[in-house]
Structure 1
């Protein structure tokens, strides 16, 4: 370890495979240089993309091992380099912040560009703040790409998933009538958020028609199932107002809007990154709820990922330090 660095603990994937390949190890963290800040992490959000990075979905390049994980975090600034200015102004020691997008956020201390740091609203817990911006940015992209506006009727598939919960709330906030697909256990939550729940499965299109006999203006697919694609095509006249973040193969064939990191999809950086400050403002004001399903200690990351990969209560799985 060099004199200009210090040790901390971080999660790494030591191999490709199941969550058991994840270990909490000591790593060397440099002091922040120009335009960078050091953050003592209080919480880190977990996301399905974290799992795909080490389970082989995105390849098994041995050169990437050991692999750091985590795109988003919240914490306290402990050191700043020269010219450390974030999206909303200078960053100072002691600031409570949200960090997105970064890499290696599953750690006790990280050094990140100041451009990734925004003030944490005081009304949000550390866990809520760490779980907002990835799903919130993705949801913002879906709502913008489908041109959701006041008076629209919008169908959200997977409405109680991470992105779905955010898309529902953002569409409601925009003045749309939202119909959300979910299992029966999620219906009360969707009603609380201002949406009208409908159970997925056989007959879905007819159930949506019964709720919206005048038609559906836009559809947001967060699950990628054939049902979600087929029902969207059946109910929405304009294919450009159907967006998917998962059904990239069929979506490309059918001419619907592809969003995210899949082949041929629009990554939407020009929408997602500028949305960070707005999302934090909305959440801080209580207009956007961030649900936390469970919190795990950093050392229990394998258990956290097993929960993330299984059926769990609506909301984020968060690691806390």
Structure 2
């Protein structure tokens, strides 16, 4: 007789007709997901609450099918793609069903909590760096370099042999965007401009300044975020089109939700040497607050910038 239970604990996003945002609750009697051909049933040990999860819980993606178990980051080891948490249940539950090709063994160098917190930012960083088309010796400006994704981007760029200019809000990096919002100091640090800008923040004014001031000839700006539209208000980038095309610059958007879980697993496999060597530790900053799943709904509701990871013990 199987020891797998018929039901499980799970966070659940529901949305009442006419409601503007979903409601998140804990259920202890959620049906165990049914394993399909080519899929495996995975026991979840930990799942991080990433900024994308918080946005999803506010209805920020718009293509969810409710009710739905949330959670992108998981200690399988992995990260979700275009389906999990949206049209397929995510990982903030005791169990989840995932495609066999989307499962990556957890590196021995990572604890369950570390595996849950690193999969999403590292795969995002890998996509961004790939789309930036940078190579060894290139100079890259990273906006938001001290954030979760920004630190992972810097680790990958260092591995490639790139020169990095770090821009953060406040002191402690090459550029303080609060004191230099127009990024004028880039002209001193990289007189001919940078080969690429990787923007993990999504501030229209900073992005516009990066295009106008920071990018050198044939430079590429790659960004992964933008302000959430409110009503009919949508953020826009402003640039001089004449200078833009004459300098052969490029603007690239990267959306991890457009990629399948199998594709994201492929990125993790490519990063295996990084995790085996322990060089991933350079991307870790601060402590993740561990919360049990029974308190996870409250962690969502009260989140004020803290980094929380749900443990299933």
TM above 0.5, yes or no, is yes
Shift of 1:273: 4.4
Name which of 238, 249, 253 aligns with 1:258: 253
SS in 2 for 1:217: strand
Q: CA deviation at 1:317?
A: 2.9
What CA distance in whole angstroms lies between the structure 1 residues aligned with 2:119 and 2:51? 14
Q: Distance in 1 between matches of 2:170 and 2:104?
A: 37
Instruction: Name the structure 1 match of 2:305.
Output: 311
Query: Is the 8 Å Cα contact of residues 151 and 175 (structure 1) preserved in structure 2?
Result: yes
Work out which of the residue numbers 271, 275, 282 in structure 1 matches 2:274. 282
C-alpha distance in structure 2 between counterparts of 1:137 and 1:238, whole Å: 28
Residues 140, 261 of structure 1: alpha-carbon distance in 2 compared, 3 angstrom cutoff: closer
Q: 1:100 to 1:247 in 2, by over 3 A?
A: closer
The Cα of 1:155 is off from its aligned counterpart by 0.5
Unaligned residue ranges in structure 1 (runs of 5+): 75-96, 188-195
Whole-Å separation in 2 of the counterparts to 1:299 and 1:17: 25
Q: TM-score, normalised by structure 1?
A: 0.75
Give me the whole-angstrom Cα distance separating, in 2, the residues matched to 1:124 and 1:252.
42
What are the ranges of 5 or more consecutive residues in structure 2 without an aligned counterpart?
A: 228-234, 242-249
* Residue aligned with 2:104, SS: strand
Partner residue in 1 for 2:225: 246
2:176 maps to which of 189, 193, 199: 199
Task: Answer yes or no: is 1:13 the counterpart of 2:13.
Answer: yes
2:90 equivalent to 1:100: no
RMSD of aligned Cα (Å):
3.1
Query: Is the counterpart of residue 168 in structure 1 residue 154 in structure 2?
Result: yes
Between stretches 247-256 and 5-14, larger displacement belongs to: 247-256
CA distance change for structure 1 residues 68 and 132 in 2, over 3 Å: closer, same or farther? Answer: same
Moved more, 223-232 or 136-145: 223-232
The answer to whether structure 1 residue 53 and structure 2 residue 37 are counterparts is no
Contact 2:104/2:265, CA 8 A, preserved across alignment:
no
Per-residue deviation at 1:311?
A: 3.2
Change (3 A) 1:99 1:167: closer
Q: SS state of the match for residue 274, structure 1?
A: helix
CA distance change for structure 1 residues 207 and 305 in 2, over 3 Å: closer, same or farther?
Answer: farther
Partner of 1:229: 207
Residue 296 (structure 2) aligns with: 301
Give the equivalent residue in structure 1 for 2:196. Answer: 218
State the 1:109 CA deviation. 1.6
The Cα shift of 1:51 comes to 2.4
Aligned partners of 2:208 and 2:238 also within 8 Å: no
**Are the equivalent residues in 2 in contact too, given 1:120–1:280 (CA < 8 A)?**
no
Moved more, 6-15 or 198-207: 198-207
Shift of 1:238: 4.3
Number of residues of Structure 1 aligned to a counterpart in Structure 2? 277
SS of corresponding position for 1:119 = coil
Is this contact kept in 1: 2:194–2:219, CA < 8 A?
Answer: no
Residues 112-191 of structure 1 correspond to what in structure 2 (within 5 A)? 112-184=98-170, 187=172
Q: Deviations over 1:68-102 (max 9, x none)?
A: 1012311xxxxxxxxxxxxxxxxxxxxxx414324
Q: Distance in 1 between matches of 2:79 and 2:263?
A: 14
How far did residue 134 of structure 1 move? Answer: 1.9
Offset of 1:277 from its aligned partner? 0.8
TM-score (norm 2): 0.77
Offset at residue 252 of structure 1 (A): 9.8
